[in-house]
Chain A
Amino acid sequence: MALSDPTLAAIRFGYGLRPGSDMPSDPDALLAQIRRGVVAKPRFPREGISGRREAATRIISLRAAEAKAAKDGKPNEDIRKQTQRDAQRIYRQDAMARLVQSVQSPLGFYERLATFWTDHFSTSALKSLPMRMVVPLYEAEAIRPNLGGSFSKLLKAAVLHPAMLIYLDQTQSVGPDSVAGQKGRRGLNENLGRELLELHTLGVGSGYSQGDVRAAALILTGLSVDNRGLDVIYRPRFAEEGPISLLGREYDDEEGSGQDHMLMLEDLANNPATIRHVCAKLVRHFIADEPPQDVTDVMMAAWTKTGGDLTEVYRAMLTHPRAWSEPGRKIKQPFEFVVSGFRALDLPDESFASMLKDIDDNAEDGGPVGKAIALAGGEAAKENAKRKANRAKSLTLGALQRMGQPIWQPPSPAGFADTEEAWLSASQLAERIAWSRMVARVFAQKLDPSDFLEMALGDAASAQTRKIISQAPSRVHGITMVLASAEFNRR
């Protein structure tokens, strides 16, 4: 099946068609999105970057003070509960904002890349309570502004962010021969060193050894996070002295300046294994589970030629003929599926605001408004509020949870699976049909299914699918089938 370029670009390289939205049709138009995206302010964190830093450090210090008081026999349950509720609510609002960001942004390719890199450099909001607030900040300030420049810069921004240092326990790691290490209370933690080589750069099975993992971990010692301002700091007392040998190069922490890890990251960023690993992963994500070697090859060449300029690497992929042929080889991940469904429906901001309000009003952590409603309305109103909240959740964050892709909660540092095997199963299909049905009932009762098919898939719908949709036994089931169709679930 051949697709028109704009349809293919929207489905394969963006979050799907949206009625009335501009449709990029060539590599230049897609790449232009990156220039606009990197300087745009995302919808999260809700308070903005500096506002979030303040909010997060406030909650961290409140909890630290409480923990200290508790040790002295004066626990304060209220502070613990209140900060927990605050963090939960902020996380939920940010997660919804991330969903809306992807639905509403006209920069589909940029948004897809932001998701790709946030996943490549996975961190999880589930790691600890403060991480509910730090992970959105991480995506906004480490990933999004840097995904169009050099890989080296992106790597440093991601790995050296408090979110990553907390997620992969770097704040716990102490060089065995460092000043602190010699006191013997704590030792080396290899977590970040290992994932850095295995996931972020060289790739598993690319030939590095356990010795290299340890070396990377040693070079990273000294890096930590100062909770007072949520800043990355260097603690010379934790740092292992050099020279430390990694992949044939000696790294020396000269006079405790703590720059050896920067050199290591720069070297890793342009290691041939890294280039191969990252290029193949991009192709695997955008084009096919089995990445065509010829596409990977031109991307690797562009990387080598430009020193890892990611925009040029994307350009090499996008200008390859295979980028525009054989559509539908990937199964959409749940987040992509849900986002593209809302885009096809052309759902406005108010709808999401209203759903978030329904959830907030009924939440345990609900603000004064929710509580007032609960008090004023009696049982029936409470029941109705609960029903609305459940429905709003099932349509959005709850749906992603059920489908196995909750926002900012990857199952491991390796991120979410990205293969047909993972996302095309009986239970997955059942969930997607159920979601489609719910969405059809709530938002699309009166739409004509054939019109909706056109909006959702354009020329990507097969003649057979067109025919079946037009014969559906009801509008609701017609809309349901558009969203549940193989064409809509592939990209």
Chain B
Amino acid sequence: MDLFKGISLGGIGQEGGRLSRRGFLAGACCVAASPVLTPVTFAAMPGDNRFVTIILRGAMDGLDLVQPYGDPAYAALRPKLGMTPDTGLLDLDGFYGLNPAASALLPLFQAGELAFVHAVSTPYRDQRSHFDGQDILETGGMAKEQKTGWLNRTLASIPRSDSRRAIDINTSMELILTGPNSSDSWSSQSDLALADDEIAFLDRLYAGDPAFAKVMEEAKQTALSAAGAFSGDEKRGAGIADMAQLAGGMLRKDYRIASFSINGWDTHVGQRNQFAKAAGELATAITTLKQALGDAWKNTVVLAMTEFGRTARENGTNGTDHGTGGLAVLAGGAVPGGKVLSRWPGLAEDKLLDQRDLMPTGDIREIAAAMLYKQFNISPNTLTTKVFPGLSFDTSSVYLKG
């Protein structure tokens, strides 16, 4: 039985950048059949090894999560956001320190089950649009017409078993797992509350209409639990934990690949508090995965990644704007943990990309390829032709040395 015969899941047709009615219809009809929320997408395969991707949507500020306090230029670039071990930063190695909002990750780091990869990015440059940036992160390529996810293409490169149950093939799926190879989508019960950056966007959206701005303000003040959208931090945290619990539970059984997203990273304004919440949620997701996976944690790699980083300098509203070089997080018993991997480019004016962004010195796709090689023994040739066409990767990759 061929388990990976073509089941197309909601590809949206685009022609010359414009949405075609026909493509839209095809997409809508396929994804419409079985509504779910906060989908966690899965794929099952043989073997003991597990692989999880977490997409951090909104451009996570790597310079805030793992702060290069040892870089002489850092403090001046980040007068409000930057910390040092003396002001609460959790030192990692004498140069980098972990934002205390993610303190739950420190024990994993110390136990060698977590690593950070700094100054990495996709090949996306210059435009700094979330949608395009996320597309490239998920499709793994620059081509706009590329509408299959790299995790979906990965499925075709792994030897299969037929022991897998289909859960639901008609639900909406994130781009990273979308494509001809079948995978399942399952949703956690909770509706996630709005993240802070999402609320900030809504504030901007209503700013031009006083009547709407007024009721939006009231909705926030009263933290209406009615619809769940404004249900507040506690419930949102529980929702993230639910999602990770579900993913971990499924991976512990038949499934070997899972993917989900955490929003809340687009911190243009008042970054300190917003970022702390999102970082706490990321830590919750990872620690919950570990707990839910139990023994299987030792065979697991979690890759958390974002579409691009943020400006090295703080902006005028106590936040940061869209940048380029960012940070990836690797977690699990099977990662080369306990260190910050990077070819650090430095933060001096002349080392920044366009005098504004952290210069990328590594490719997120190479990290992903290394982990896929390690977990599923996919050959470098397949990885650089089928999964990430055009990527240069071989077994000498720095990400395999650890």
Q: Which residues of chain A have C-beta atoms less than 8 A from B207's C-beta?
A: 464
B32 touches A354 (CB 8 A): yes
Q: Which residues of chain B have C-beta atoms less than 8 A from A478's C-beta?
A: 131
The yes or no answer to A428 lying at the interface (CB within 8 A) is: yes
Q: Tell me which of A434, A443, A451 has the highest count of chain B C-beta atoms within 10 A of its own C-beta.
A: A434
Which of A107-115, A158-166, A247-255, A468-476 binds B?
Answer: A468-476
The yes or no answer to A262 lying at the interface (CB within 8 A) is: no
Scan residues 209-246 of chain B and give those whose CB is less than 8 A from a CB of chain A: 209, 211-212, 215-216, 218-219, 221-222, 224, 226-230
B226 touches A350 (CB 8 A): no
The yes or no answer to B337 lying at the interface (CB within 8 A) is: no
The yes or no answer to A426 lying at the interface (CB within 8 A) is: yes
Q: Which residues of chain A have C-beta atoms less than 8 A from B187's C-beta?
A: 387, 391
Chain B residue nearest to A399 (CB atoms) is: B227
A425 touches B33 (CB 8 A): no
B227 touches A474 (CB 8 A): no
A426 touches B35 (CB 8 A): no
Scan residues 26-68 of chain B and give those whose CB is less than 8 A from a CB of chain A: 27-29, 31-39, 57-59
Which of A90-98, A130-138, A220-228, A340-348 binds B?
Answer: A340-348
Residue-by-residue, is A415-453 near B (CB-CB < 8 Å gives 1, otherwise 0)? 000001000111111110111011001110111110110
CB distance from A329 to the nearest CB of B (A): 11
Scan residues 121-162 of chain B and give those whose CB is less than 8 A from a CB of chain A: 129-131, 134, 147
The yes or no answer to A205 lying at the interface (CB within 8 A) is: no
B32 touches A347 (CB 8 A): yes
A446 touches B12 (CB 8 A): yes
Task: Given A19-B24, A448-B14, verify A443-B34 contact (CB < 8 Å).
Answer: no
B25 touches A346 (CB 8 A): yes
The yes or no answer to A392 lying at the interface (CB within 8 A) is: yes
Bound: A462/B211 CA distance, A: 16
Task: Given A430-B230, A472-B130, verify A420-B211 contact (CB < 8 Å).
Answer: yes
Q: Which residues of chain B have C-beta atoms less than 8 A from A426's C-beta?
A: 215-216, 218-219, 221-222, 224
* Secondary structure of the A contact surface, majority rule: helix
Which of A117-125, A229-237, A480-488 binds B?
Answer: A480-488
B35 touches A391 (CB 8 A): yes
A443 touches B28 (CB 8 A): yes
Bound: A484/B209 CA distance, A: 13
The yes or no answer to B75 lying at the interface (CB within 8 A) is: no
A481 touches B205 (CB 8 A): yes
A427 touches B226 (CB 8 A): yes
The yes or no answer to A279 lying at the interface (CB within 8 A) is: no
Bound: A384/B219 CA distance, A: 32
B34, B197, B227: the one within 8 Å of A388 (CB): B34
Contact-residue size bin, chain A (C-beta under 8 Å from the other chain): 35 or more
Bound: A424/B211 CA distance, A: 8
Q: Which residues of chain B have C-beta atoms less than 8 A from A486's C-beta?
A: 205-206, 208-209, 211-212
The yes or no answer to B174 lying at the interface (CB within 8 A) is: yes
The yes or no answer to A282 lying at the interface (CB within 8 A) is: no
A451 touches B131 (CB 8 A): no
B134, B221, B228: the one within 8 Å of A434 (CB): B228
Q: Which residues of chain B have C-beta atoms less than 8 A from A350's C-beta?
A: 29, 32-33
Q: Which residues of chain A have C-beta atoms less than 8 A from B34's C-beta?
A: 354, 358, 388, 391
B208 touches A446 (CB 8 A): no
Chain A residue nearest to B207 (CB atoms) is: A464
A473 touches B130 (CB 8 A): yes
Bound: A455/B21 CA distance, A: 10
The yes or no answer to B198 lying at the interface (CB within 8 A) is: yes
CB distance from A421 to the nearest CB of B (A): 10
The yes or no answer to A402 lying at the interface (CB within 8 A) is: yes
CB distance from B332 to the nearest CB of A (A): 25
A428, A462, A470, A476: the one within 8 Å of B208 (CB): A462
A446 touches B39 (CB 8 A): no
The yes or no answer to A395 lying at the interface (CB within 8 A) is: yes
A477 touches B31 (CB 8 A): no
The yes or no answer to A412 lying at the interface (CB within 8 A) is: no
B36 touches A387 (CB 8 A): yes
Bound: A427/B215 CA distance, A: 8
B212 touches A445 (CB 8 A): no
The yes or no answer to A50 lying at the interface (CB within 8 A) is: no
Bound: A348/B178 CA distance, A: 21
Bound: A452/B38 CA distance, A: 21
Chain A residue nearest to B170 (CB atoms) is: A354
Bound: A432/B204 CA distance, A: 17
A429, A443, A468, A477: the one within 8 Å of B215 (CB): A429
Task: Given A384-B167, A448-B19, verify A481-B32 contact (CB < 8 Å).
Answer: no
Q: Which residues of chain B have C-beta atoms less than 8 A from A434's C-beta?
A: 191, 227-229
Q: Which residues of chain B have C-beta atoms less than 8 A from A480's C-beta?
A: 198
Residue-by-residue, is B357-398 near A (CB-CB < 8 Å gives 1, otherwise 0)? 000000000000000000000000000000000000000000
Bound: A481/B202 CA distance, A: 7
CB distance from A467 to the nearest CB of B (A): 9
A358, A387, A447, A474: the one within 8 Å of B57 (CB): A474
A481 touches B175 (CB 8 A): no
Q: Which residues of chain B have C-beta atoms less than 8 A from A351's C-beta?
A: 28-29, 32-33
A430 touches B227 (CB 8 A): yes
Chain A residue nearest to B220 (CB atoms) is: A426
CB distance from B148 to the nearest CB of A (A): 11
The yes or no answer to A489 lying at the interface (CB within 8 A) is: yes
The yes or no answer to B99 lying at the interface (CB within 8 A) is: no
The yes or no answer to A105 lying at the interface (CB within 8 A) is: no
A388, A429, A448: the one within 8 Å of B131 (CB): A448
Q: Which residues of chain B have C-beta atoms less than 8 A from A391's C-beta?
A: 34-37, 187
B201 touches A477 (CB 8 A): yes
Bound: A470/B134 CA distance, A: 13
B201 touches A348 (CB 8 A): no
Bound: A448/B17 CA distance, A: 9
Chain A residue nearest to B267 (CB atoms) is: A473
A347 touches B28 (CB 8 A): yes
Residue-by-residue, is A238-259 near B (CB-CB < 8 Å gives 1, otherwise 0)? 0000000000000000000000
The yes or no answer to B5 lying at the interface (CB within 8 A) is: no
Bound: A465/B204 CA distance, A: 9
CB distance from A272 to the nearest CB of B (A): 35
A429 touches B134 (CB 8 A): no
Residue-by-residue, is A453-465 near B (CB-CB < 8 Å gives 1, otherwise 0)? 0010000001011
B227 touches A387 (CB 8 A): no
The yes or no answer to A355 lying at the interface (CB within 8 A) is: yes
Bound: A440/B19 CA distance, A: 16
A395, A443, A445: the one within 8 Å of B173 (CB): A445
Chain A residue nearest to B131 (CB atoms) is: A475
The yes or no answer to B183 lying at the interface (CB within 8 A) is: no
B37 touches A441 (CB 8 A): yes
Task: Given A425-B215, A451-B19, A489-B212, verify A475-B134 contact (CB < 8 Å).
Answer: yes
Bound: A133/B78 CA distance, A: 67
Scan residues 301-325 of chain B and give those whose CB is less than 8 A from a CB of chain A: none
B12, B211, B230: the one within 8 Å of A447 (CB): B12
CB distance from B19 to the nearest CB of A (A): 4
Q: Which residues of chain A have C-beta atoms less than 8 A from B82's C-beta?
A: none
B37, B173, B202, B208: the one within 8 Å of A438 (CB): B37
Residue pairs across A and B with Cβ atoms less than 8 A apart, 15 shown, are A350-B29, A384-B168, A426-B215, A426-B221, A429-B219, A430-B227, A437-B194, A437-B229, A442-B32, A442-B35, A443-B35, A445-B174, A451-B19, A455-B19, A473-B57
Name the 9 nearest CB pairs between A and B, nearest first: A351-B32, A434-B227, A473-B58, A473-B266, A426-B218, A486-B209, A391-B35, A434-B229, A426-B219
Give 4 new A-B contacts, CB below 8 A, not counting A19-B24, A445-B31. Answer: A20-B21, A348-B32, A402-B227, A445-B173
Q: Which residues of B contact A (CB under 8 A)?
A: 10-12, 14, 18-19, 21, 24-25, 27-29, 31-39, 57-59, 129-131, 134, 147, 167-168, 170, 172-175, 178, 187, 189, 191, 194, 197-198, 201-202, 204-209, 211-212, 215-216, 218-219, 221-222, 224, 226-230, 261, 263, 265-266
